[in-house]
């Protein structure tokens, strides 16, 4: 192999392009073909490596999307303040983008969240307010406190990730077209789970448009969420039961972001935690991919969809983030036992649960 060819084989093919700062490094993630699962199903199972975003998750795109939208609409001017209610990846994405663009970042979260999460956001320069963990209906809920805090400040926005459709728009403009291009316009189906709905709705709309309606879009849903019941009953039911080890996904209502696309879904897949955790360990063992539980759930859904649609199809999904933020749980024997998930992990994969 020549030196030039060797270098090309080692890069993603676009690294000769210089990007502008943190914000420029968001997106253009690789589409990773999952070899073993593709062979097993006779389909092409491909997964967007969103853990490679500079803040470490798919939510960097949404964070940039809502901030850019507020700037364009003149709601956020230099030196302004960005406020959100979040305990997870969106807060991390917002904190990074705020540093990169010179905004103050204020995060409200339920006081049940780990000190690790609070510390990380503070290390990224955000102000964090842990508030009592009360239901959404209560005006003291962290989302309402975030909204009220921004309303009382000049040059401040509440980014409102669940109902601000600039979130889905970011995926419509970037993630969806990237998947279309990376598959050469050959994607039979796409599936992923939903928290705000931004990823599913934005990518779904882009792929539907580009394929003239041919690409099927399926929701993947964990236990404890009402969306599987809602979608599979054609909007008649909204039942939910149980809970899930997955974080960032599952929902109790149709958010504005999901609402932009929910009626165009082809169907929904319910994925129990025992399948997600087994896939998480399997992807590490067979592909060397160290992923969070929502990514593993998405891959289970992609495999089930491949089996439904039959061989020869290309099925795409999302690898939302890495396992780094969850490793003290996902790879702990005591935690797996407490969650009754020990038996879900095949014997030959148990060696990865190295923590007590």
Ligand X SMILES: Cc1ncc(COP(=O)(O)O)c(C=O)c1O
Question: Residues interacting with ligand X, by CB under 6 A?
Answer: 57-59, 88-90, 194-200, 247-249, 292, 294, 320-321
Residue 354 CB-density burial (10 A; 0-12 exposed, 13-18 middle, 19+ buried): exposed
> In whole angstroms, how close is the CB of 189 to ligand X at the nearest point?
18
Structure tokens at 213: 């309606």
Element (H, E) at 45: strand 44-49
CA pair distance 115, 252, nearest whole angstrom? 26
**One of 59, 208, 275, 313 is an active-site residue; which one?**
59
Name the token pair of 356. 């007590």
Residue nearest to ligand X (CB): 248
CA-based nearest residue to 175, from 190, 160, 164: 190
Two structure tokens written together for 304: 């089930």
Phi and psi at residue 210, to the nearest 5°: -70, -30
Minimum separation from the CB atom of position 317 to ligand X (A) = 11
DSSP assignment letter at 222: -
* Closest CB 198 distance from ligand X, rounded Å: 4
Residue 313 or 339 with smaller CB distance to ligand X: 339
Enumerate the β-bridge partners of residue 267.
Answer: 218
Host H or E run for residue 268 = strand 267-270
CB of 326 to ligand X, least distance (A): 9
State the Cα–Cα distance between residues 203 and 321, nearest whole angstrom. 17
Residue spans of alpha helices (H) in 104-197: 115-123, 142-151, 166-170, 176-182
Measured from the CB atom, is 257 or 313 closer to ligand X?
Answer: 257
On the CB side of 45, CA atoms within 13 Å amount to 28
Which residue's CB is nearer to ligand X, number 103 or number 172? 172
Annotation marks residue 337 as catalytic: no
What span, in angstroms and rounded, lies between the C-alpha atoms of 356 and 347? 17
Angle, alpha carbons 247-248-249 (nearest 5°)? 95
Q: Closest CB to ligand X among 194 and 216?
A: 194
How many residues in the chain? 356
211 CB burial (10 A radius; 0-12, 13-18, 19+): middle
What angle is formed at CA 16 by the lines to CA 10 and CA 18, rounded to 5 degrees? Answer: 130
DSSP character at residue 81 = E
Give the nearer residue to ligand X in terms of CB position, either 280 or 313: 280
Least distance (Å) between residue 152 CB and ligand X: 26
Q: Which residues are catalytic?
A: 59
């Amino acid at each position: 192999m020549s030196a030039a060819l060797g270098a090309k084989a080692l890069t993603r093919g676009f690294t000769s392009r210089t990007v502008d700062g943190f914000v420029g490094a968001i997106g253009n993630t690789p589409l990773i073909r999952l070899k073993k699962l593709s062979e097993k199903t006779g389909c092409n199972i491909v997964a967007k490596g969103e853990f490679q975003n500079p803040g470490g998750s798919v939510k960097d795109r949404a964070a940039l999307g809502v901030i850019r939208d507020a700037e364009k609409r003149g709601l956020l001017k230099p030196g302004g303040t960005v406020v959100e209610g979040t305990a997870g990846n969106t807060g991390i994405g917002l904190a990074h983008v705020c540093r990169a663009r010179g905004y103050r970042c204020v995060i409200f979260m339920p006081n049940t969240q780990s000190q690790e999460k609070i510390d990380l956001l503070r290390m990224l320069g955000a102000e964090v307010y842990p508030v009592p963990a009360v239901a959404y209906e209560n005006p003291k809920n962290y989302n309402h406190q975030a909204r009220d805090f921004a309303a009382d400040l000049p040059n401040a926005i509440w980014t409102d990730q669940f109902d601000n459709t600039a979130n889905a728009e970011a995926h419509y403009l970037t993630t969806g077209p990237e998947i279309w291009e990376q598959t050469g316009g050959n994607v039979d189906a796409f599936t992923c789970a939903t928290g705000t709905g931004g990823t599913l709705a934005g990518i779904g709309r882009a792929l539907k448009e580009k394929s003239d309606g041919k690409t099927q879009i399926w929701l993947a849903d964990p236990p404890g969420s009402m969306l599987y019941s809602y979608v599979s009953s054609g909007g008649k039911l909204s039942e939910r039961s149980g809970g899930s080890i997955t974080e960032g996904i599952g929902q109790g209502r149709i958010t504005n972001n999901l609402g932009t696309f929910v009626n165009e879904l082809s169907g929904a897949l319910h994925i129990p935690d025992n399948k997600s955790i087994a896939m998480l360990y399997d992807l590490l063992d067979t592909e060397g991919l160290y992923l969070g539980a929502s990514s593993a759930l998405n891959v289970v859904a992609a495999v089930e969809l491949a089996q439904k649609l039959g061989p020869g199809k290309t099925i795409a999904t999302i690898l939302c983030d890495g396992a780094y933020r969850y490793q003290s749980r996902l790879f702990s024997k005591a935690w797996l036992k407490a969650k009754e998930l020990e038996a879900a992990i095949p014997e030959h994969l148990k060696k990865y649960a190295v923590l007590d």
